[in-house]
Amino acid sequence: MQKTVSDARAAIEGIKDGMTLMLGGFGLCGIPEKTIAALAESGITDLTCISNNAGVDDFGLGLLLQSRQIRKMIASYVGENAEFERQMLSGDLEVDLIPQGSLAERCRAGGAGIPAFFTPAGYGTEVGEGKEVREFNGKPHILEMALTADFAIVKAWKGDRDGNLIYKGTARNFNPVMAMAGTITIAEVEELVEPGELDPNQIHTPGVFVQRIFEGKNYEKRIEQRTTR
Q: Which residue has the higher pLDDT, 138 or 29?
A: 138
Residue 189 pairs in a beta bridge with: 156, 215
SS3 46: coil
Predicted confidence band of residue 223 (pLDDT cuts 50, 70, 90)? confident
CA dihedral 194, 198, 204, 205 (to 10 degrees): 20
The phi, psi pair for 203, rounded to 5°, reads: -75, 130
CA nearest to 168, candidates 140, 203, 192: 203
* CA atoms of 197 and 9, how far apart (whole Å): 26
Q: What is the pLDDT of residue 4?
A: 97
**Domains detected in the chain:** 8-113+147-215 (3.40.1080.10)
**Predicted TM-score of the model (pTM):** 0.93
- Distance CA(146)–CA(152), nearest Å, equals 14
Q: What share of the chain is helix, strand, coil (3-state, %, to 5)?
A: 25, 30, 45
pLDDT in tens, 179-206: 999 999 999 999 999 999 999 999 999 9
Separation of alpha carbons 26 and 131, rounded Å:
27
pLDDT at 77: 86
